[in-house]
Structure 1
Amino acid sequence: MGRYVDGFVIPVPNDQVDAYREMAAEGGELWIEHGALEYFEGIGDDVDPDMGDMPMRTFPQLAEAGDDETVVFSFIVFESREHRDEVNAKVMDDPAMDPENFEEEIPFDTGRMAYGGFRSIVDHET
């Protein structure tokens, strides 16, 4: 059975990138602590590539990001879907995830975040 990935595409206001980075760093530590294999957060850098005549949507279009926003692409890697469900249950039960423990507001509109779980169909690594 191949690995399993939870993936996210999130439009983040430019003036909230530092706050997002702090939140993501804490989240990454939490997911790894509870058993995730890998946690990755990337900020948009080359998100409007020139693909010639090939029709495609860019990440900003996909995320419906405004001029004052950037796109974050992130993923968490697990052994399997079952492992993902176990790890996510532990994370959600962790006191750090209690909204009363949040010192800051979430630095993006959660209603515009895209999320999904993906099973591996091709998996190469070095």
Structure 2
Amino acid sequence: MPYIDGFVLAVPTANKQKFIDHATQGDSVFLEYGATRILECWGDDVPDGKQTDFRRAVQAKEDETVVFSWIEWPDQATRDAGMAKAMHDPRLKPEVNPMPFDGMRLIYGGFAPVVELGAKA
């Protein structure tokens, strides 16, 4: 069963290309350590909610865009081993690949799928 790491963050809209460059460089490390797929999604239709929403979750400011990302792993064991290696990889250090956003407002978690549907080929 696949395992998913999910992320929500606020990126200054003016830093879109810097974010793409940062993600491209950093995401390759996760692929090297066993991830099978990574998506970085730039907010396009992120409505304000009545009680909570993505923007409030990361305290996004007016000049920021919400990014929703995930890393797919083949299973949790591969994720645990790969993530441990990635967190010690110098290519992910801020001095090598600086984050073009406030990392203190990034939220993340690991998720075990309970329903998976797909179109039949």
The reply to whether TM is greater than 0.5 is yes
Alignment equivalent of 1:60, drawn from 50, 55, 61: 55
Q: Does 1:32 align with 2:27?
A: no
Deviation, structure 1 residue 25: 0.8
SS in 2 for 1:101: coil
Deviations along 1:62-88, one digit per CA (max 9) or x if unpaired, are: 222110100000000112221111111
Identity of aligned residues (%): 38
Instruction: Number of aligned residue pairs: give it.
Output: 119
Q: Which residue of 2 aligns with 1:124?
A: 117
Aligned-residue offset at 1:41: 0.2
Alignment of 1:1-126 (within 5 A): 2-48=1-47, 57-102=52-97, 105-126=98-119
Mapped to 2, the partners of 1:93 and 1:58 lie a distance apart of 33
- Runs of 5+ unmatched residues, structure 2: none
Name the SS of the counterpart of 1:8 in structure 2. strand
Query: Higher Cα Rg: structure 1 or 2?
Result: 1
Measure, in 2, the Cα distance between the counterparts of 1:57 and 1:100: 34
For structure 1, the residue ranges without an aligned partner over 5 or more in a row are none
Q: C-alpha distance in 2, partners of 1:123/1:97?
A: 31
Amino acid at match of 1:72: V
C-alpha RMSD over aligned residues? 1.9
